[in-house]
Amino acid sequence: MANIKSQIKRNRQTIKRTERNKAVRSELKTRTKVASAAAISGADDAIELNRLAQKRLDTAVNKGVIHKNAAARRKSRLAKKLNQGAVPAT
């Protein structure tokens, strides 16, 4: 346990930020998973779910939870799955 006042405060801040970031990451994973599953199955609302997932990725970047290149990579993979699922099977 820290004895210095400033370190005690930093520890409190770290705990708060960790919880906040965990919530953002959790929602991000959920949205991405749902959008990916919808894209693969060719669901009607796949485009909307993909849009929401990309929106959450951008929000996470703005909050500093994930790096912008990581978000770009994930968005690219989501779009790729969406485009592959959109091709009609003939």
pLDDT of 90 strictly over 60: no
Asked whether residue 90 is domain-assigned, the answer is no
**pTM (predicted TM-score):** 0.80
| Mean pLDDT of the region 35-52 | 91
CATH number of the domain that residue 16 is part of: 1.20.58.110
Tokens of 31: 């949205």
Q: Count the neighbouring beta carbons within 10 Å of the beta carbon of residue 81.
A: 18
Amino acid at the residue 31:
R
Distance between CA 53 and CA 55 in Å, rounded? Answer: 5
Asked whether residue 68 is domain-assigned, the answer is yes
Asked whether residue 49 is domain-assigned, the answer is yes
In eight-state DSSP terms, residue 44 is T
| Mean pLDDT of the region 2-22 | 95
Number of domains in the chain: 1
Range of the structural domain that residue 68 is part of: 5-85
Q: What is the pLDDT of residue 48?
A: 94
